[in-house]
Structure 1
Amino acid sequence: MTTEQPWFIGSWIGVVERPDTVDEAVDRNDEYAGVALLALVLNHPESAVVLPRIKRALASPNARTRANALQSLGHYARLHRSIDGELVKRLRCALNDRTPLHRSQIRGYAFHAASDVGMFVRRRDLPRWLRRRYSGPRHETNR
């Protein structure tokens, strides 16, 4: 007997072929919208498809979706080694978000995302505040 679990990332793998599924899930405030976003970020190679959806999920009224969007941002930084200015602004705001989620707050998820961004994005591509507070490795291979 198998039970379909909507929260299992594998059940959302279809978002790679239909990224608008993530938009629909965020718009209807689906409790698993963040999981759909994670599945997309981890499996879709194109930044132009993934970035707008991370931004959209970061604006969700659902705290779990915002937390998953922050996790997605960290994965995006690791996979693509980049971030854009608008996401940096949203990340900075999230670092002050005290919305409770389980035994933590959204800002805890933002801290981990900022650490990932600092670790994986080239230092010269980051604003000073992020470089100083969440610095990753100092060596740069592509000067």
Structure 2
Amino acid sequence: MTIAEPWYIGSWLEVVDRPETVDEAFERNDEYAGVALLALVLNHPEAEVVLPRIKRALGSPRPQNRANALQCVGHYSRLHASIDHELVALLRRALSDRTQVDGFGIRGHAGAAADDVGMFAPRRRLPRWFRRRFPGPRRSSRW
């Protein structure tokens, strides 16, 4: 893949047609693999294509790629109204990761992702500890 500006998400849109491009970027430990993953998650309609790649990215040695993967968790739950137990376990681990990325901790990114999951994923699929810590939307009260 030849990209003049790899930080520009529009330049990664070919990942929708070739999702294995994301795999290749992570295999190379590419610093922009997380951007490619974001492009895939935001533009590919099939959850089963993006979910394994998000899980893989959460274990990246590059903190920025892990931060991007956590953004993808939030987008995934919003776009697909879905979550699975393995992803919740990976998110739980990230909630205690003190690694810093540009002055913001990975656990802060994980907290934002967890808020999105609490808001958009089916509550019945979330473990009790998660539902207590990230309550999700409040029910509207009637007058």
Match of 1:59 in 2: 59
Count of residue pairs brought into register by the alignment: 137
CA-atom RMSD in angstroms: 1.2
Q: Please give the TM-score of this superposition, normalised by the length of structure 1.
A: 0.93
Alpha-carbon displacement from aligned partner over 1:22-59 (angstroms, at most 9, x marks no partner): 01111111010000000000000111100000011001
CA distance in 2, matches of 1:112, 1:64: 15
Match of 1:18 in 2: 18
Equivalent residues in 2 for 1:37-116, closer than 5 Å: 37-116=37-116
Q: Please give the TM-score of this superposition, normalised by the length of structure 2.
A: 0.93
- Supply the AA of the counterpart residue of 2:48: A
> Tell me, which stretches of 5 or more residues in structure 1 are unaligned?
none
> Tell me, which stretches of 5 or more residues in structure 2 are unaligned?
none
Report the alpha carbon displacement of residue 138 of structure 1 after superposing the two structures with TM.
4.6
Report the alpha carbon displacement of residue 75 of structure 1 after superposing the two structures with TM.
0.2
CA distance in 2, matches of 1:9, 1:111: 23
Report the alpha carbon displacement of residue 4 of structure 1 after superposing the two structures with TM.
2.9
Alpha-carbon displacement from aligned partner over 1:54-101 (angstroms, at most 9, x marks no partner): 011001000000000000010000000011110000000000000111
